[in-house]
Amino acid sequence: MRTLLRLWPYVRPVRARLFSAAFVAILASCVGLVIPLVLKWLVDGPVADHDPGGVWLGALFLLLLGFTEALLFGLRRWLVARPLSHVEASMRAALYRHLQRLPVAFHDRWASGQLLSRGTTDLMLLRQFLAFPLTFLLVNGVTILVGVVIMLLQDWTLGLVVLGPAVPLMVTCVIFEKRYAKVARLAQDQVGDLTTVVEESVLGIRVIKGFGRHRSQARAFRELSGTLRGTELRKARLLATIWGVIVTLPEVAIGAALVVGVAQVADGALSAGTLVAFLSTALALRWPVESIGFLLAMSQEAATATERYFEVMDEGVEDPGAAAAAPNAEDEGLRFDNVRFRYPDAPPGSAPVLDGVTLHIRPGESMALVGATGSGKTTLTALIPRLYELTSGRITLDGVDIAALSREALRTKVAVAFEEPTLFSAGVGDNVLMGTDGTAGERELERALSVAQADFVHALPQGTQTRVGEQGLSLSGGQRQRLALARAVVGQPEFLVLDDPLSALDVHTEAAVEAALRQVLADTTALIVAHRPSTVLLADRVALLSGGRITAVGTHQELLRSNAEYAHLMSGEQSGEQSGEQSGQEEGAR
């Protein structure tokens, strides 16, 4: 209950209709319990007196009661349908907003399938719980209580016979709840794992087909699916067990009450009408009692779904940042001051990816960042827009510590083109204009496309309105990279971070992009991760990153003459010794 009570903030706006629906359902159940009393009157009155008119009147009254009960239950359904769809939608929207605000380190840890299952399957379970089990646990509880009172008033001895299984039923429910909770949580986690496999298989279908791995992937899917099937069967066995107990014990009790009641009628101690009314009431309580099993099961699944939902919602979001301090006029441009960084999920005691990085990029200057694979170049660029938080040290933009800026303000100043370009299932123009605050128009779009040499978009079927497929896989790697570059420059940012932006381009396109990019770099402060001399030549100066530190800064020609490691990198002759020294510094750096 403590877990499910966390849903209250989402339910509160629609509480009036939910409470009304519960009241209507209770009223409908109570109307159903009036029917046995009418039967008692019929049997002891018109039937015993052979009064056909009275029988027809009683039948009409029973028909009206049944129609009223059905109408009230229909009204309950109408009352809950719209508000509960609103609750589900608001929870899904809240989850999506929260996911957007969570740090990149969170998304590095969590499988996307687990997040998808929480936003779809789990929320569906919560909506179903609010629509049915929540209401009927209350309704059936009240119905059972009222029905027991009616039976005891009819004949207390028969009432005690029927109440005999109450204690064993309660014990069974407690045991069932504990066992079912573990299995339900396991099943929901396995659904998330299965969703991850399906998503990865769809996104990586080219790799799977290219390497002929469809059989191994299908085998992995079957194994996970079989594991989930086994867990679901465990749930079914538990549910079957409690269902068998809940159905059997009351039936035995009703049978015993029937035998005792018939004996009392034969002795004249009980009227036939009272026995009919008592048994009718007991039979009317069969559904509320028998439903306890699956209502508890659905409630437990809702509780575990709530736990999974709030596991994500309880994660701390990115700190928006404090008010910016006054800039230091003597410290303009982009400056790294003794920056140290270790990934949040790195093993304890492991060496930091970046250790004491100090670098100053002057206003309007372009700096190329060069280093061996795994040296931390991409990680360093990710720190500028605060995709990750520094372990220690500081980074300043025009003298202002980025930690003192809100992320929104920071990211309006800094634009990034990542090495792996990501496009969304939207129009080409929409993908490019994501790099602006929404004020850019057709003119800015055309300028950015021109800089990135992405004029190919005009040859697409609907031009800039052409929708690209998921991940932009309908385009070539070079086309995706050019659109990502256009997205970075469209907003004319003050600071530009380019992570090897030309790696997928042929030499002719690369030369054309470089020529246009030089005009953009003349008006901004830029840090460019580079692996090829042609990209390095875009920059005014070069910084060499080695062993998590900046070991040399100078022009391309200066470093070629004075630094052997840099010369090796630019000539493509990096030694195995150097590679070995630096491997592991940023294993899997993004």
Domain membership of residue 252 (yes or no) is yes
Which of helix, strand or coil describes residue 414? Answer: strand
Q: How far is residue 445's CA from residue 449's CA, in Å, rounded to a whole number?
A: 6
- Crossing angle of helices 121-131 and 52-101, in 10° steps, is 150
Q: Which residue has the tokens 């009980």?
A: 270
What size, in residues, is the chain?
590
- Same domain assignment for residues 299 and 339: no
Question: In whole angstroms, what is the distance from residue 122 CA to residue 304 CA?
Answer: 9
Give the CATH number for residue 174: 1.20.1560.10
- 302 and 344 assigned to the same domain: no
Shared domain for 19 and 54, answered yes or no, is yes
Domain boundary among 253, 281, 313: 313
* Same domain, residue pair 304 and 350: no
Domain identity same for 259 and 375:
no
Residues 59, 101: one domain? Answer: yes
- What integer pLDDT is reported at residue 310 of this predicted model? 93
Judge if 366 and 308 occupy the same domain. Answer: no
Residue 466 falls inside a structural domain: no
Decide if 318 is inside a domain: no
Tokens at 157, concatenated: 């001895």
At 510, which CATH number? Answer: 3.40.50.300
Nearest to 39 by CA among 281, 253, 286: 281
**Phi, then psi, of 389 in degrees rounded to 5:** -95, 140
SS (H, E, C) 185-218: HHHHHHHHHHHHHHHHHHHCHHHHHHCCCHHHHH
DSSP assignment letter at 12: G
Are 530 and 370 contacting, i.e. CB atoms less than 8 angstroms apart? yes
* Pairwise CA distance, residues 123 & 117, whole Å: 9
Residue 363 lies in a domain: yes
**Domain count of the chain?**
2
**Domain shared by 116 and 171, yes or no:** yes
Taking the chain (590 residues) in consecutive chunks of 10 residues, what is each chunk's mean pLDDT? 86 86 84 80 77 82 86 85 85 91 84 87 88 82 86 85 84 85 89 86 77 82 91 90 85 87 85 84 83 82 90 80 51 87 83 90 91 88 89 90 86 83 82 77 84 85 80 76 85 86 74 79 87 85 91 91 89 46 38
Q: List the beta bridge partners of residue 335.
A: 360, 396
162: its two tokens:
């029927």
pLDDT score recorded for residue 323: 47
* Residues 547 and 577 occupy one common structural domain: yes
Which residue type does 47 have? V
DSSP H or E stretch at residue 545: strand 541-546
Report the C-alpha gap between 571 and 567 in whole angstroms: 6
Which ranges constitute the DSSP H helices of 434-563? 442-451, 477-489, 507-521, 533-536, 556-562
Tell whether 347 and 274 lie within a shared domain: no
Residue 438 lies in a domain: no
Single-letter amino acid code for the residue at 24: V
Closest to 194 measured CA to CA, from 121, 301, 129: 121
* Most distant CA pair in the chain, distance: 121
Q: Does residue 85 sit in the same domain as residue 170?
A: yes
Q: Is 454 in contact with 482 (CB distance < 8 Å)?
A: yes
Which DSSP symbol is given to 47? I
In a domain, 325, yes or no: no
CA–CA separation, 225 vs 7, rounded Å? 30
Distance, CA of 303 to CA of 181 (rounded, Å): 8
Rg (CA), the chain: 35
SS3 110: coil
CA distances from 11 to 75, 85, 303, 481 (A): 19, 11, 15, 45
Please tell me the distance from the alpha carbon of residue 395 to that of residue 234, in angstroms, as a whole number. Answer: 54
Contact (CB, 8 A) for 396 and 402:
yes
Transcribe 240-292 into DSSP letters. HHHHHHHHHHHHHHHHHHHHHHHHHHHTTSS-HHHHHHHHHHHHHTHHHHHTH
- Among residues 313, 344, 368, which one ends one of the domains? 313
Residue 414 belongs to domain spanning: 334-423+493-582
587 lies in a domain? no
Question: How many angstroms separate the CA atoms of 437 and 349, rounded?
Answer: 41
How many angstroms separate the CA atoms of 119 and 88, rounded?
10
Give dist(CA 488, CA 454) in Å, integer: 13
- First CA to last CA distance, the chain: 42
State residue 572's pLDDT score: 62
Residue 478 lies in a domain: no
- Among 546, 485, 527, 235, smallest CA distance to 385 is for 527
Judge whether 378 and 419 are in contact, CB under 8 Å: yes
- Clarify whether residues 164 and 270 are in a common domain: yes
